[in-house]
Structure formats: C-alpha cells, structure tokens
Amino acid sequence: MAEAVRRTVVVTGVGCVSAVGIGREAAWEAILRGEGGVREIRRFDASGFPVRIAAEVQGFEPARYLDAKDARRTDRFIQFAVAAAREALEHAALDITAANADRVGVIIGSAMGGIETFEQGIHTLSTKGPSRVSPFFIPMFLADMASGIVSIQLGARGPNMATVSACASGAHAIGEAAATIARGDADVMLAGGSEAAVTPASVAGFAAAGALSNRNDDPEHASRPFDAERDGFVIGEGGAVLVLEALEHAQSRGAKPLAVMAGYASTADASHIVQPSPDGEGATRAMRLAIADAGLAPSQISAVNAHGTSTRLNDRLETQSLKAVFDGKAPPVSSTKGATGHLLGAAGAIEAVFAVLTVRDQILPPTINYHVPDPECDLDYVPNEPRPARVAHIISNSLGFGGHNVTLVFSEAG
C-alpha cells in the first residue's frame, strides 16, 4: 500500500492575551520594546503570601468576546481562549461556515484549567453547603472546556480535544493539531493554550515547591531568564491560539501564510516529577527529533525561543541541551518569559505566536532583565534589546512538570 502523502501545514493567523498586551500586535510591540508585565498581585489579597507578584492580564473585558450570560458561566481561562481564538480567526480572514465546519477543529491545552472556579466552588461548599454549589461548577473548571467552548462559539465541528501536560500543554496542542492536518483529518485547526492560575492555591503551591521568584520588592526584574541572579519563575496568565491550515487549503482561498509549521516532536524524561532529567537528555532528544521532522539539520536553525523559565535548574539544563544539539554552541536564544512571566499551560502557545512573528518580521525578541552572566549559561541570549536577523527557521521549546518535552519548528513561508 502506498504511503500517505504528508500535507504541508502553515500558520495563517495568530491571537493572544497576555500581561504585556491584549492582542498579538500590542503584545509583540511591548515585547520588542523590552516591557515587562510583572507587578504586585491584584487578583486576590496576597499580603500574607511569601510570593506577592505575578504577570496578570490587565483591562481584559470578557463582554468583548462573549455575551453576558456566557461570560458568567465561563472561567477566566476559557474567556482568554475565546478571545485569542477570535483574534486568530480574524487574522486568518477565515469564516467557519456550514460548508467547512466539519473540517475545522480545535485543540487548546491548559495545565490548571479553571482553578479559580475550583477554589471558589470548594470555598462555597465548605462554608455554605452543597446546595449552594453552582450547576456550572464542573463545566467551568474542566480543562477541556476552553477547547469545547471555542468550538461552540465559533461553530468548529472537526476534531476537538484538550492537551494537559503541565507547561508543555500549549505546545503539545499545536503539535498535535498540525499532525491532525498533516494526516488529512482536518483542513484547519485552531490550536494553542490558555491559563488563568493567579489564584491563592496556585501561588501558594508553587511557592511551597520553591519554584517562584520571591523578588517582591522588585517585580519588574523578578523574571530574569538565564541571568546569574535568577531565583525562580513568575506565574503569568493569558492565552494564545494559532490558526493552522493545510497549505493547499490556504492557497485555495488566497490566504498568505505567516510561517510554515515545519516540525514537531515530543519526548519524556522518565526521571522526576518536577525536575528535568539531570543531563537534559529529554529536551535534547525533542529538539533533535523536531529538527529532523522538519527535514533540517541543526546548522539550519536560525534562532531559539527557549523555555527559559528563570529557575536555576531549568535554565542551566536547557542551555546544556542546546549545546548538545548544536555541537557546543547555538544560534541566538530568546526567552520572552522575562516579559510575560510563565503562562504554564499557555506558555508554549504564546511563545509559538512570538516565534511566528519572529519569522514574519525577521527580528529576534530580547531576553529582558539579563544583566549578570552565569558561567553555566553562556550562550547568546539576545540580552535586553531586540535584534534584526535573518530567521529562516526557529525552534520553540516547552518543558513541563512530569518530564514532558516539546519542540516546535517554524519556517519562512516563502
């Protein structure tokens, strides 16, 4: 039997909601200006917490994307996903109609789902009793509901699911969506991630694990990937969605691709519940496999959007992995988490958006707050200032608790 031809997948639209801007261009321009979104927490009273800073989305109005009834019945993480999906679809100039809806799918990942709703529901249960728990409690916090509600709101009837792999969730969603198109199961996929986990339990839990920066007196400089004085990540929130499309489908409607979704790979460390494998081997394999999946050699990669969390261990081991892949050196490496904070399950999605825009605009985003070099992190991290560059191919890394590793490859559309 003849082997099926793998279809080329392109990106035709992107949308995002983040602490540095609502909408792709607002966020991207802030990233290139070196602006950060980390501030004191406003979502709840964090005065008694050891960590009192986060990268919160400011000025978000759910009524712009959902009617009042639906806004009341959806968690914030779902609202971010709907907003990003609507923007991405508009950017792609794509209408979902009765004629094409069965061939348009949605995959949106989340690590924490509706944790704000969950915490509030448990509080209601414990203080007011079971009769006062909302009938919308369960569907508001389930992690698959971002994908489900986006499908309902937009009328997409193709493959629909959620990916839940901690901080690799958004990247997994994009990779699996591209694979769905490549094998012919859909023509268009809306893919990405969404997270709204700036909540008491989430902040307390990550702080207890020693994962968060406690630079409470200097929030603007708390997220400092690869810097020698980094002391943990800053929790962020937001959502991002890409419109992925079969090349021939995009061409048939006259759409101009932003980039080619050229490669994808996923691996496991099989090592530790929260720490990367000691030698970074899982991330190394993911990068090598994704680059090979794109039909490229490491020497052809122009840039890296790193996972770059600003934690001591992750940044050192990701640097080690990059050196292994690129034979002791690497192309320029950016981490946009210095600006956006760490969006957990949405991190890989918003960083994929920035990777696509890097290819579109031929400019490398800066790693902000990089001031003190670390001898163990000795690559070119594009410190503090954007840099015009020829970017033919870029990789984007996402590494999650549980040992999940994902690398995506985006290339010029030509």
Q: Which ranges of 17-132 would DSSP assign to H, the alpha helix?
A: 24-33, 68-72, 76-91, 115-128
Q: Which of 334, 50, 324 is nearest to 210 (CA)?
A: 50
Where b means 16+ CB within 10 Å and e means fewer, 226-259 reads bbeebebbbbbbbbbbbbbbbbebbeeeebebbb
Q: What count of residues does the chain have?
A: 414
Rounded CA-CA distance 66/217 in Å is: 37
Bridge partner list, 396:
305, 408
Q: If you count DSSP H runs as helices and E runs as strands, how many of each does the chain have, helices first?
A: 13, 15
Cα angle 116, 62, 73; round to 5: 55
Q: Cα–Cα distance between 230 and 321 in angstroms, integer?
A: 19
67 touches 51 (CB < 8 A): no
Q: Can you state the angle between helices 24-33 and 347-361, rounded to 10 degrees?
A: 80
At 54 the three-state DSSP class reads strand
Give dist(CA 243, CA 348) in Å, integer.
15
- The 10 Å Cβ neighbour count of residue 177 is 29
The Cα–Cα gap between 76 and 287 comes to: 33
Residue 27 in contact with residue 18, Cβ under 8 Å?
yes
DSSP code, position 50:
S
Ranges of beta strands (E only) in 196-290 are 238-246, 259-268
Q: Which residues are catalytic?
A: 167, 307, 342
* Whether the Cβ atoms of residue 235 and residue 389 lie closer than 8 Å to each other: no
Amino acid at position 43, single letter: R
CA 176 – CA 108 distance, rounded (Å): 10
